Structures are given as structure tokens and as C-alpha cells.
Structure 1
């Protein structure tokens, strides 16, 4: 065991929120900060190519490659949960989409007593983080660290899908993060000039040379150290050596919705019954640690194109594949700049809903599962997920060994509302694909296939094929009630000197992709830390 010099703050996890914290807490030069990351540096070239996420999907050098436990409502299938294990965290391996969620999501948090977390309370931090290609306005940021850009080029198939949604009654929406989320259009993404801009590039790179910031990669944090009820530092392992390092002010967990609750439990904060089962002494009883896991379940449909204009066609033709590479190298354009959702829509499955409950994604390639080889036929994919699932699961340690992956159980489709919404969402998506606008572009539906029509058949298809779209949240729930894991200022209840600042603190998940919200949480959390420290 080696003891190292103390820092003012220790940040565990260099994902989106962790990179924000490292930048903001070192800006004024007053505080000495240590950033610990279990993965390595973001040197893999596929990290920086937007479509490269397919190459990183199952790469253990940059990915935790978690496997969930069997999901009873998905035919007892185990679901693969990729999470970034590299500087930038999941922002270095994700699909790049920039979607904040609905204003009503955050106003719901405020109605639950978290008054500083209503939409008016979080919008300034969304704007602070962002430089939007279209410029700043009432809704969007114009001079933040994180570039957010339009697609590099429209595509005929995407145009047909948008037209199909329009024929079905959806309005055009040029900005899903603007006045309203309803409608159809192209997505914006976290890239610029054809390159991915992860949080490591946007926030951490500008701060790396600051003398008050130390970054330790390949450093697995194994437990939080305490003096009584106060967090005083952490223990971590790097290069086969075990280290203890002190934090004179606070320890900040930004390890994400899987690893933050895992580290709390390993450190004695959690359900006493679970901790005792694994021989861990209870530091503070907090039964909600690891509970309330929410995730978005993705349902995909696969179609054969009527023309050879998909990425499948380009990939399987040597000359066209070579052309893709040239287009990217010399122009930073083409298929390699595509995010995980090219075009899409937000819509309601029931007219009485005030806001959309479904997000759809349209992409110009098809595969049996993400990360697999593209289909040989000319194919494209239209998918969707329910924005606000009722079903909740958990993340819990399996043993006191920090190297053993935790149990991840999402409990998908556990409620009738969730089952009904997914069936209705699939029907509506198929209606888009059957519209006249798609007629000249689609040859046939391959999955689910024309024989799948009844509610029971649609639900059976969903149970057999649906999977995560990689948005775990809410496992260290923020609240004003006694059962909440963290309070409104993200301080872990029951102890001092310890906060959680990542998507695990969400009381309920937001209606969309999570990376934008993770950046916001990092920005707002950093300001809270600085305010409380100077105060």
C-alpha cells in the first residue's frame, strides 16, 4: 500500500460529467484535483471517427463490456451493456446524438421537491456547455466547450423517412432541443469537422496542462476511505500497485449509473442486508443505492432498400468502401461521419399525452445486432424506444471484489403501460414505413416481417429481439425524501465530503439520449461544489 499526497478534490471517473468537473474545478487555480479513470487514454483512432462506435462496441480495451442478468420479460435473455472505459467515458464510444430531453422532465423533478432542477434551473447549464453550429439563442448555447453540429450531408433515405413521418401527421422539427420535441427531422450530434468531440476532447484536453490537475489512467478505484462519517479519500489500483490518496475537501463520484452505486456499496454505503451478505461493514444504511435503475429499450425494424444506396452496399463493395475512406480523409464527409441516429422523430402513442412518449431513430445500414457485420443485402434500420418507461431494475455488487462486474437487471417490460406503449410504438413506426413517401425506397420489411401483425405477435417479437439503447440512469437517486441517495446538491445522504455527479442521480430518466444531460449535471454539480467550498 502506497500513500500519496492529498488533493482538494478527487474525481472518480473521466466520463462526460467527470471531464466537466475536472475542467471547472481547476479553472480558478485554487484547488488541486486528481482525476481517476479505470480505462486508458483516448488514443484509439476509431474513437475519433463518428461511425467508429461500431468498432468499439465490444472492445474491452475501451469498453467495460458488461453483461446483464437474465431478463424474464425478454425471454430470459441476457442483455449486453457497453459502457466507456477510457478518457471521455461513454462519450468516447457512444452514438454521438445530442438530445437533452423534454422541458417537462425537469419540471417534474422540481414538482417532486427538487426546486433547483426544474427546466429554468438546468437550461443555463445546458447552454453553458454547448457551442451549437447554428448559433446560440434562447434555447441553445453558442460559446461552450462542447461542439454540437448538424449532419454533414442529407441522405435520400433519411429524406424519405422524414417525409413519411410528415405524411403521418408529424410536423417538421428543425431542433429537437428547442421549443418542442414533437416532430421529425435530422439529429444533431457531438461532432465537428467530421470528428467526434467527446468530453475528453471538449473539456479535459483544454485543462490537461494545468498544474493543479493530475490525471491517472488505468486506475481502478476500489473503495472510498472514511474517517467516521466523513469521506477522506479513495483507494485505487494502478499498474499492479495499490494506492491510498486523500481528499481534504470532497470525493466526487462520476463513474456513471453502473459504477457509482457499485463503488458506494463496496465502500459500505447501501442496503445493510446486501452488504452483510458480502461481508462488508455498513458505513451508512442507504437502501436505495443501486435501486431504481431505468433504461431505454430499443425495438428495431429492418428493411431491404429498393436501391443500392445504403451503407451495407458501400461496405461490401471494395471500390465503394475505398471511396468512403477517401471521402472521409480528404473531405471529412460521408458515411464515416454518421451518428447512431441519422434522422428520426418524437411522437405520441396516445392523443391525450401532453408530450411524445416515443423516440425513433433511422439509420442507413442494417445488422443483426450492434457491432456485428453489416448485412449482405441492401438494408436500413428504423427503430424506436419508449421515452419514459415505468419498469425499474437494479445494479448491485455480486461480491466484495471490485474487479467482479455487478448484477445489472433492468426489468424491462414489467408493466402493462410499458408493454402497451411498445406495441403501439411498433405499429406507428411500421405505419411510417408503409407510407407513400417510402414506397420508392423500400422493397420489403425483413424484421419483424409481414406475418407479424397481432398484438401478441408484436409483443412476442419485442420480447425476442429488443435490447438496450445504452441509457442507464437513476441508481443513486436524487430527492428530498429520507430514502434518496443524494440530496438536491448531490451530497450523499448520511455522510460528509462525498457527492455523486453523473446520470445515476436522475430521479427519473429524461426523454432522450443521456450524454447532453450528463454534461449539464457536470456543469451544475461543479458550480454547486465551488459554491459550497467558497461558502
Structure 2
């Protein structure tokens, strides 16, 4: 086993394992991956698609929590984050959603040449092979699959949006999709198991003699030599082993942080890269003063309504509820279908149809007037406690305005689940009511381009222990709350009352205390948002890629400003979060980063 490495990759997650596989293709470089979690590639909860929620809240999850969110009635939220080999791609719901052209072009316009749609697409295509029925497209590493629909719910969901004028337009991989569309999942089309960086990228590469993977190793900080005129030079990392020993390992070429949206900025701050005043208060020697490290945290706010259905599961309207209730007959039948035929509810995420919908009412004069009014009333809002430059704010507000005012712009993102999938006040999944035989259909709506911004920083406990203070400041920008309230009204008063979906739904089952029709009063919809909005597991932005003077932490080659041989490669570099699930984009970021790094060898 090697004792010195050219590249040390901190974090063996979604992006880190892509980098490990690509960089170790060169037999002349030694690559080390240091992952804090364990290797659970053989675990059923990782591999069986429908079992993915069972990993949340376990040791495979960092089990992060936010500070109290003022705009949400001071609720604290749980933030699941992958703490295992493969990262959040081994823990999440597997939806493989490509980015939109408009947001990538927005990244480039900030001062990131080569990161627009045209420059990014070729790297994104390297990540996947798409299977639809017997048809295979592209020739990438991950296996992504549009599953055969085994119930009628997806078609009903699609048809309802179509009847409302929101049928799908364009291919999901075109960059310009809007309306209701069926997306693939990162599931192998034959074995019907999760396809992720752990088994798709690492497994074929792990026998290489120049690739070493450590698990259960927590990197504490990067070690620097500050004597170089080109900026601080990373010489290695300090890490803590499973038995609590502190050790160091040298890096000959680069240290690459792929520790995720929360731990990449944490490692930077622990290493002395961040806001000088903050670091000095914590007793950390300042290596690079950059106040934007850990800032610009963003995710999608989400509201969920679970409806009771009129069906008993017959005639193609089965739901996953009997399995969730641990019904022995239902569990046995589902497992038999999965193990013998790779079919049934265990073989899918059961949530592939999604809809990208414009601002509700944008096609009417009254809706346009409503939008102009809320844009006017929220204009010039200054977010308190967040370090964001005027240049960045102007660029981001322009993107959001263009989305909101376009009749095909996606300001809301709708998901469905054939069964109980309700998230409680903290954002944790609430177990299905155990008594009874009711069946459910759950609909969620996400705000695609929030203006609210937060932060994730090191802080100190009264005992002097360093920990993370995560404050997404969800819905702190008034425009976010106003737009999301109107999407909740559309979900509850329009979508759920339109054919053919309306004929399948009874009253609300969750959240309690909100009777059918509540959203007819916009004030009630606003109150619903404040009391029930949670966060999707789509965190980004804390090590943003853009010019330093605009608020950047890394440049367009993903190099950390002020450090000559440190990069960040994960979702934290996104200056704007993508409009939907970011996992697919993270894979593309890692593929592009690998080529950038190789070009310098």
C-alpha cells in the first residue's frame, strides 16, 4: 500500500469517487480517497430502490440539524446527508434530473467560462447510459432507467397536468424541458439495484494498484506551507482514525475537497481558509482570508400534502402503504416479485413523473398583475446576516425574474408518490398511521429558484468543541414565500381538483388541521407555507464558483482562491442550485473537474 499520494480526495461521495476513478486511470499517479463513513455497497438499504428512506437517521447519515428558522416559526430542520461510501448518491431517492440550460448559462455569465450548457453537456453525457424499455441511449458510466409503470398513478398525474395545459415539452435531456415529464432513476435496468458512484465508478476501478480508499477516516484539516509566492501550498492532510488517533498523510500534487456542501467549507475553515474574524475567534490560524467560505447556502423549500385515496389498491391503483405498514402478505408478495422477476414496488422509487410549472396564473392578465405586484413589493430586499455581493445579487435576481415572468419558466417543481410520504415539522419522514387500511397519494411542490440564502460555519460550544452551525435561512426572502404560497394554492385548489386525479382523492390526510379548500384564501396558503415548509435534500453553494470579487471561493478551474493546489469538487461549488434534484449535475461537475485536473498533469 502506498504511503504517499499525488492526490488526496477528501470525501468518497457522489463526486469524490468519480474523481478517484478518473484520476487513477493514469497509472503514474497515486490517488487516495479518505471517506468518513463506511462501505455499505452490499447493504440492501443502499441497493433496493424502494428501501432508500431507511438509511436516513442512521449512521449512514450525518444527521445534521439547522438552527431555528425564523421564517418557519422558529422550527429546526433535519438535513440528511450521506455519511457512507458513495455519499448522498447512496442515500437519496435516485431521481436523475438533468440541469436546465438557463441555470448553467447563468453560472457562466457570472465569470465561469466553459460552464455554460454547451461547455457542460459533453461532460454530463459521460455520466450515464439511459435505458427505456428495450432502447438504450448514450454510453456513460451510471445506469439510469425509465421504469415500466406498474400502476396507473404516473399516467393519472401526467394526464392531469396535461389537461391543465402543462403537457411535457422537449426531451428531459434537452435542457429546456417544461411541463409534466417522466424522468429516469439511477437504477440498473436489469438488476433493478441503485446505480451510484460506489458501484458504477469505484467498483470497476478499485483493484488498481494506484488507487487507495480509506473508510472511517475523518479529515480534520489541510496542512499548508505558506512560504510560496503563489499562495498557500497544501502539503497534506491531518485526519482522525476510527480509534481516535490523529495522523497526517502528505500530498505531492493536490488536495481535493469533495466532502459535500457542509463539510467542504468546514474543512476549509478548520484549515484556516475563511472569514478571518470568525477564524480568530475560534483560535484558528488564518491562512487565507475569504469571508465567502460557507456562505450562499441554498436548497429548495418544499411543501407536501398527503391525500387519502378513494381506492383500495385494486384496478391498477396500488399504493405502497401496505408495505409501509409492514403487512406480511404485502411484504412477501413485493419481495417475491423483486427477487424472482426484478419487478414490483421494491424495484422502483415509485416517483418518476415530475412537473415543471410556471408561476400560477402567468397566462392570465390577473396572474401577471399579481406577479408584478409581488416582484415590486419584494424588490431591493436585503438578506440579513448573509455575505452576498451586489454583483451576485443582481445576476441571481435577473435569473429568477426571467423564470417567473416566462410562460414556460419553471418556478415550481411537482413530485408525486403513490403512498404515504409526509414530512413533519422538522423535515423528517413521519411514519404512516399504523392503525387502519387507508391508502394515500402524496404530492410535493418545490420552489425551483429561491432567492433566500444562508450559511454553514464552524462555531464553538461553551465547552470549546467545534461544531457546525447550519442556517439555510429558508424563505427569508419575501418573494420565495409569496411564490411558494401560490404554488401550494395551485396544488390544493387546482391540481388536486382536476380530472382525472380529482376522482381518485378524498380529503387531506396530512398535515392535520388543513381541510380541503383551505388555499382558496391566499393568507391561509401563506400560513400553510410558514407552518409546513421544509427543505429538500438539495444543498449547494457554500464554496461557490465565481470570481472572488463577486463572492467566489473557487475559480472556474475549481481551485480555492489563495491556495495554489486545493480544489473543491462537489455541490458546494454551484453558485445557483439547479432547479431540481442536483445529483445528476454533481456527477457532471466531477467529470469536468477530472479533465481539468488531468490537463495540468
Q: 1:340 to 1:56 in 2, by over 3 A?
A: farther
Inter-partner Cα distance in structure 2 for 1:289 and 1:136: 47
1:258 and 2:262 matched: yes
1:150 and 2:146 matched: yes
Query: Once the two structures are superposed, what CA deviation does each residue of 1:351-383 show, in whole Å capped at 9, x if it has no partner?
Result: 532521111100011144354422352111000
Inter-partner Cα distance in structure 2 for 1:423 and 1:452: 12
Q: 1:507 to 1:141 in 2, by over 3 A?
A: farther
Q: How does 1:133-172 map to 2 (within 5 A)?
A: 133-134=131-132, 142-172=138-168
Query: Once the two structures are superposed, what CA deviation does each residue of 1:441-468 show, in whole Å capped at 9, x if it has no partner?
Result: 1122334422523222112111112211
Partner of 1:375: 433
Q: How does 1:34-433 map to 2 (within 5 A)?
A: 34-42=32-40, 43-59=42-58, 61-134=59-132, 142-173=138-169, 175-178=171-174, 180-192=176-188, 193=190, 194-228=192-226, 229-240=232-243, 241-309=245-313, 310-316=319-325, 317-339=327-349, 341-349=351-359, 350-351=362-363, 352-353=405-406, 355-369=409-423, 370-376=428-434, 377-399=438-460, 405-430=467-492, 431-433=494-496
Is contact 2:305–2:422 with CA below 8 Å preserved after alignment? no
Offset of residue 404 of structure 1: 5.0
Inter-partner Cα distance in structure 2 for 1:134 and 1:335: 18
Offset of residue 481 of structure 1: 3.6
Q: Any gaps of 5 or more consecutive residues in structure 2?
A: 227-231, 314-318, 364-404
Is contact 2:9–2:255 with CA below 8 Å preserved after alignment? yes
Query: Once the two structures are superposed, what CA deviation does each residue of 1:234-286 show, in whole Å capped at 9, x if it has no partner?
Result: 01111322221111100000001010001000000000111111111111001
Inter-partner Cα distance in structure 2 for 1:141 and 1:247: 39
Partner of 1:449: 515
Offset of residue 414 of structure 1: 1.3
Partner of 1:479: 546
Partner of 1:458: 525
Give SS of 1:346's match.
strand
Q: 1:432 to 1:62 in 2, by over 3 A?
A: same
Inter-partner Cα distance in structure 1 for 2:446 and 2:48: 26
Is contact 1:13–1:37 with CA below 8 Å preserved after alignment? yes
Query: Once the two structures are superposed, what CA deviation does each residue of 1:152-182 show, in whole Å capped at 9, x if it has no partner?
Result: 4242122211111111101235742235320
Is contact 2:95–2:185 with CA below 8 Å preserved after alignment? yes
Offset of residue 398 of structure 1: 1.6
Is contact 2:46–2:90 with CA below 8 Å preserved after alignment? yes
Q: How does 1:2-41 map to 2 (within 5 A)?
A: 5-41=3-39
Offset of residue 476 of structure 1: 0.3
Inter-partner Cα distance in structure 2 for 1:463 and 1:156: 33
Give SS of 2:590's match.
helix
Equivalent position to 2:501, from 438, 456, 462: 438
Inter-partner Cα distance in structure 2 for 1:367 and 1:130: 28
Offset of residue 426 of structure 1: 1.0
Q: TM-score, normalised by structure 1?
A: 0.95
Offset of residue 109 of structure 1: 1.2
Q: TM-score, normalised by structure 2?
A: 0.84
Is contact 1:161–1:433 with CA below 8 Å preserved after alignment? no
Is contact 1:11–1:253 with CA below 8 Å preserved after alignment? yes
Cα RMSD, aligned residues only: 2.1
Is contact 2:132–2:147 with CA below 8 Å preserved after alignment? no
Is contact 2:310–2:506 with CA below 8 Å preserved after alignment? yes
Offset of residue 190 of structure 1: 0.3
Is contact 2:312–2:439 with CA below 8 Å preserved after alignment? yes
Report which stretch shifted further, 167-176 or 503-512: 167-176
Query: Once the two structures are superposed, what CA deviation does each residue of 1:405-455 show, in whole Å capped at 9, x if it has no partner?
Result: 411111111122201110111122221111021133112233442252322
Query: Once the two structures are superposed, what CA deviation does each residue of 1:38-92 show, in whole Å capped at 9, x if it has no partner?
Result: 0000232211011111111111x21101011100011101010010011100000
Is contact 1:136–1:143 with CA below 8 Å preserved after alignment? no
Partner of 2:535: 468
Inter-partner Cα distance in structure 2 for 1:196 and 1:406: 30
Is contact 1:25–1:530 with CA below 8 Å preserved after alignment? yes
Inter-partner Cα distance in structure 1 for 2:598 and 2:205: 17
Inter-partner Cα distance in structure 2 for 1:503 and 1:239: 27
Report which stretch shifted further, 334-343 or 518-527: 334-343
Report which stretch shifted further, 78-87 or 431-440: 431-440
Give SS of 2:168's match.
coil
Q: How does 1:506-525 map to 2 (within 5 A)?
A: 506-525=574-593
Inter-partner Cα distance in structure 1 for 2:488 and 2:202: 40
Report which stretch shifted further, 145-154 or 225-234: 145-154
Aligned residues: 527
Is contact 1:222–1:402 with CA below 8 Å preserved after alignment? no
Is contact 2:181–2:355 with CA below 8 Å preserved after alignment? yes
